[in-house]
Structure formats: C-alpha cells, structure tokens
C-alpha cells in the first residue's frame, strides 16, 4: 500500500488581506505573527548566530542584505528610542497622539495559497504564507526591530505578553513574488523620493514639546486688531510652512514663533532648541513648567501686542532670526535671568522703540539678511548664524549694528 500526502487546507500562516494591485496586498497582523514571519534583523546581522544557522536562514540573511541597510548606522541607533515610543503608546502615555506607519514587506517567491473573496465584493481574502517563506521588511525595518525587542522582553518596557496579544495589531503592506531588483527599487523610492520635512518645521508640530505648546497657547490667548476686528493671534500663524509667500494671509510661521519662545525661555542658549524638543527637565534651574508658561506667555503676548502693526505688515520683525534675537532680549525680563543681565519690560520697550523694521538693506543687510543677485533683501539665513548679531544690535543701540538697524549714520 502506498500512502498519499494530504491535499486539503495548505499549512502555513494565514493572513486576512485586501489586494491593492495585482502583486500587493494590505492588512494587519498580530505581533506574534510578525516575529514569526520576519526574523529580527539583529539576528540576521549577527555573525555568531549565522555560523550556526540553517542554510535556509543564511540564504534569507543574504537576500535581506540586498534590499536593506545594515543596523550599523543611525538606523540602528534609533531602535531603542523607537521601542520606547511604541511601548509608551501601548501604555497610553501618548493618548491618541501616536502612530507607526505600515511596515512594507516583500514575499520572495510564490505564495502558498490565496482564497476566494471571504465576502463577495469586499475584496477580503485569506493569504497563506508558508512557515519557511522568505518575508523581508523593505521599509519599516527599524520599527520591525523595535517590535522584536519589545516581544523579546516585554517586562522591561512595562508590558506583558498578554497585553501585547490583546492590544497590538500591526498594519502592513505585502508585495508578492516581485523580483529582488523591484524590491530594491521600492526601498530606494521610499527612502529617497520623499521630501524630508525641515527639522524646525517638524518641531513646530510636536505637541509633546513644551515650546510648541507655549506657541499655541500664545496664539489662543492673545487677541489682536486685524482688518477692523479682534481676532485670536493664532489665526494669523501659519503652522504648515517654514517661509511665508506674498499670498499667505498669515503674518508669521509657527516655527518662527516657537523660536521666539525658546530664546525667551533660555536666552542665547535657546537657539540650540530651535530644532530640538524642549522637555520640562530642560528648563532653567529653579523653575517649573507652570511658572515658565505663565511668564513666557505673558511677555511674548505683550511684545507681539505692542508691536502688532509691524507683524501685520510682515516687516523684518517676523523673520526667524529677528524673532530669535527678540527672544534673547525678552529673556532679560524673565525672573530666572542672570541678575547681572536682568532688565524690566519697559527697558525692552525702550530698546525696541526706534528700530527700523522695514525690510530694507540699509537696516538689515549684514545683520540677518543679504542682498541677492536680484537686489532684493533675503532673510532666509539660518537662526543659529544670525540670532546673536540681531540680539547684539538690539541690546547695544550705540554699536555698529545697533546704529544700523536704527537707521543712524556712523
């Protein structure tokens, strides 16, 4: 008698998916499924582990290396922070304000089975992946490695396996049967074709950043006279751009307002926070977040309210480097300023009273702007390069730059 092998339901890992094109599907999976399906990149780069690995696992590691960077880069250094971020999100520490993008996977070779639609017209199907299939992350590998770290030792992140099983569904897209060359092209497109967001603009979106929160608070609490009516200043702050154009109705960018905030808090040292998150632990000694919020919102709101006509016409006062210099000056009116530098808000007003805010080379060329080939004044220079010169010019009316921005002849 000869026995035959079973020909029923194929063995493997079932995934509920929806096709988005002929060779790609999307879906979600549990964390346990992810770590079964996609080995840890750490393990696949460990020479000692590869020495004792099976031939199949070594071939998989070799294939992965053709479509991925190694972890011996900034990518690898990001993994611990990414794992902490994910764990904090699972524990509710971020509320609803956290997210991880879908992981992009590549299934090399043929799939085991794909069912008919589970519900006619829905597109949903069951895809069965063989236990030894070569599934590789071609985008989102840092996240994949972070998930592996969490799964390997959930207790160190304040989690349990039961919580991971109950709380986690990981979104993915899976490319089926495409060639290694196509997989490499997808890796390239995902990592090179996109336009990076300027770091200081990205910072202006971070609601866990104290400076960003204070900038929004100023926008909400301060009211100004615009077009004949009182309006919240926040309606005149553009949160989506690094630089304004002539057609924009706003008068200043959120990133520039945030720069004014950080230099008001820290003085000249605040420039280093123009593209770095400000945590409560970073605040000046002997202060706390409540005190800083109260003082900074009051001072910044008063400054903008007093000089709003200059803001309304988008004069030089709205340039990021000028905002940084203004913050350095305003810092001297805070109670935590060094006593040797401290001054009253009235002194700040006096120093600003005769500054010429027109966007003219006679006042700002060589301070925080330059004249381009079209003879127009360009304020696009960096905050770190120019904030000190602006602050010096504001603080010293009799110095060379101080006289220049006040329109006084030498």
Mean pLDDT per 10-residue section of the chain, whose length is 410 residues: 63 92 95 94 86 87 86 85 95 92 93 89 92 92 95 96 93 94 91 75 79 95 91 91 85 94 96 89 94 97 96 94 96 96 96 95 91 78 86 95 88
SS3 15: strand
- Are 31 and 154 in a shared domain? yes
SS3 393: helix
Instruction: State pTM to two decimals.
Output: 0.74
Per the domain annotation, does 137 fall within a domain? Answer: yes
pLDDT of residue 193: 80
Last residue of a domain, which of 137, 158, 193? 193
> Which of these, 300, 290, 286, 209, lies nearest to 252 by C-alpha position?
300
Last residue of a domain, which of 154, 172, 193? 193
Per the domain annotation, does 64 fall within a domain? Answer: yes
Query: How far does the chain reach from its first CA to its final CA, in angstroms?
Result: 110
Range(s) of the domain holding residue 23: 13-193
Per the domain annotation, does 8 fall within a domain? Answer: no
Element (H, E) at 20: strand 13-21
- Are 235 and 298 in a shared domain? yes
Per the domain annotation, does 132 fall within a domain? Answer: yes
- Are 170 and 318 in a shared domain? no
Look at the chain and report how many structural domains it folds into: 2
Q: How far apart are CA 271 and CA 197, in angstroms?
A: 19
Per the domain annotation, does 6 fall within a domain? Answer: no
Last residue of a domain, which of 138, 161, 193? 193
- Are 216 and 170 in a shared domain? no
Phi and psi at 252, nearest 5°, equal: -155, 155
SS3 140: coil
- Are 84 and 211 in a shared domain? no
Where are the alpha helices (H) located in 222-307, listed in sequence order?
254-266, 289-306
Q: How far apart are CA 99 and CA 286, in angstroms?
A: 35
Q: How far apart are CA 363 and CA 266, in angstroms?
A: 27
pLDDT of residue 164: 94
- Are 184 and 217 in a shared domain? no
**Residue 355 C-alpha from the chain's centroid:** 36
How many other C-beta atoms lie within 10 A of the C-beta of residue 378? Answer: 15
- Are 286 and 336 in a shared domain? yes
Per the domain annotation, does 3 fall within a domain? Answer: no
Per the domain annotation, does 5 fall within a domain? Answer: no
- Are 166 and 241 in a shared domain? no
- Are 209 and 162 in a shared domain? no
pLDDT of residue 37: 94
Where are the alpha helices (H) located in 153-189, listed in sequence order?
161-167, 180-188
- Are 278 and 336 in a shared domain? yes
Per the domain annotation, does 65 fall within a domain? Answer: yes
- Are 326 and 344 in a shared domain? yes
- Are 279 and 344 in a shared domain? yes
């Amino acid at each position: 008698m000869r026995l035959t092998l079973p020909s029923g339901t194929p063995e493997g890992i079932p995934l509920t998916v929806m096709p988005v094109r002929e060779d790609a599907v999307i879906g979600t999976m549990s964390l346990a499924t992810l770590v079964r399906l996609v080995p840890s990149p750490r393990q696949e780069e460990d020479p000692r582990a590869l020495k004792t690995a099976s031939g199949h696992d070594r071939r998989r590691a070799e294939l992965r290396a053709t479509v991925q960077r190694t972890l011996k880069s900034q990518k690898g250094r990001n993994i611990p922070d990414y794992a902490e971020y994910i764990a904090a999100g699972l524990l509710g520490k971020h509320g609803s304000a956290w997210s991880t993008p879908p992981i992009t996977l590549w299934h090399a070779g043929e799939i085991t089975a794909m069912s008919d639609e589970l519900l006619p017209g829905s597109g949903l199907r069951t895809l069965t992946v063989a236990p030894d299939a070569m599934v590789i992350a071609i985008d989102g590998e840092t996240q994949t490695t972070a998930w592996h770290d969490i799964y390997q030792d959930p207790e160190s992140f304040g989690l349990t396996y039961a919580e991971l099983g109950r709380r986690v569904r990981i979104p993915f897209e899976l490319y089926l049967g495409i060639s290694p060359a196509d997989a490499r092209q997808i890796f390239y497109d995902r990592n090179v074709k996109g336009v990076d967001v300027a770091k200081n603009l990205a910072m202006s979106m971070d609601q866990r950043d104290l400076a960003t929160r204070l900038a929004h608070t100023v926008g909400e609490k301060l009211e100004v006279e615009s077009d004949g009516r009182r309006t919240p200043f926040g309606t005149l702050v553009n949160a989506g751009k690094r630089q304004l154009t002539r057609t924009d109705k706003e008068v200043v960018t959120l990133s520039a307002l945030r720069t004014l905030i950080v230099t008001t808090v820290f003085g000249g040292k605040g420039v280093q926070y123009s593209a770095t998150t400000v945590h409560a632990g970073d605040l000046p000694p002997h202060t706390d977040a409540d005190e800083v919020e109260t003082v900074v919102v009051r001072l910044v709101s008063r400054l903008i309210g007093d000089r709003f006509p200059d803001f309304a016409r988008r004069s030089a006062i709205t340039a990021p480097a000028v905002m940084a210099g203004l913050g350095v000056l305003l810092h001297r009116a805070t109670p935590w300023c060094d006593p040797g530098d401290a001054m009253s808000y009235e002194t700040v007003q006096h120093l600003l009273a005769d500054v010429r805010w027109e966007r003219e080379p006679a006042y700002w060329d060589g301070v925080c702007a330059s004249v381009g080939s079209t003879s127009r004044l360009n304020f696009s220079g960096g905050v770190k390069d120019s904030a000190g010169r602006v602050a010096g010019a504001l603080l010293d009316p009799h110095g060379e730059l101080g006289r220049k921005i006040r329109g006084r002849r030498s």
